Homo-oligomer: A and B are copies of this chain.
Amino acid sequence: MVRQSEPIAAARIPLSKDRVLRGAITVADAGGIEALTMRKLAEELGVEAMSLYYHVANKEALLDGMADAIVGEIEQAVGGFDVPSNGVDWKAAIRRRILAAREVMLRHPWAPGVIETRTTVSPAMMRYFDSLIGVFRAGGFSYDLAHHALHALGSRAIGFSQELGEPHDGEQADQDVTVMLEQMADQLPYIVGMLQAISHDDPDSTLGWCDDQVEFEFALDLILDGLERLRNKA
């Protein structure tokens, strides 16, 4: 009989906080955040549920770590949070960071919800905000205006905007929506009118009337342009 040195590929790798966090992100990516239970995560890692508590204080701390790791992905994507020198194109630099952040969020759809519910700002998030403020400063913003800017951007600063009726998920057929809209026409005339006006422009579908990338950039530029105007006025 062979010594059977590798029963399952990486099953012998000892647990670590890093491995726990990576596993948790994998589980959440695959099955959504509601699929992330301590027991399922343990199974994913080939370990007993209670072993996790040796590396992570509790589930809340696990979520904290996941949020930090996701912001770390942004940091990696933009090649570090270094602040450019004075006189840089601040708008382009901010835009690049935020659009990179958005791409990371699109890869991890559960992340916005987790980030939003954190009660403490993670270290990576601190570095991210610091770099945003730094860019604003290099672009000639006062600290006061930079502060306003962060509030105005809100969660858009880290790449997501909470859309309100979003998760249609394509479950419902276009035709159902069309029928429903006709029934509502008298109660909700403006919504119906808007959907009709927009679906004419985009004859492809009634449901896909929101190109999220376009809308995200529209709102982002609206805010950045407004900030620029305030910056120049001061």
Contact = CB atoms under 8 A, between A and B. Distances in A.
B162 A198 contact: no
B116 A198 contact: no
B226 A188 contact: no
Interface in A107-153: 113, 115-117, 119-121, 125-127, 129-131, 133-134, 137, 142-144, 146-148, 151-152
B194 A152 contact: no
Contacts of A219: 148, 151-152, 154, 223
B154 A161 contact: yes
Interface residues of A, number: 60
B201 A144 contact: yes
Interface stretch (A1-9, A47-55, A163-171): A163-171
A83 B225 contact: no
Interface of A: 83, 113, 115-117, 119-121, 125-127, 129-131, 133-134, 137, 142-144, 146-148, 151-152, 154-158, 161-165, 167, 169, 184, 187-191, 193-194, 197-198, 201, 209-210, 215-216, 218-219, 222-223, 225-227, 230
20 contacts: A113-B117, A119-B169, A120-B165, A121-B165, A125-B164, A125-B165, A126-B188, A126-B191, A129-B191, A131-B190, A133-B193, A143-B193, A148-B215, A151-B210, A152-B223, A154-B164, A154-B219, A155-B162, A222-B230, A223-B226
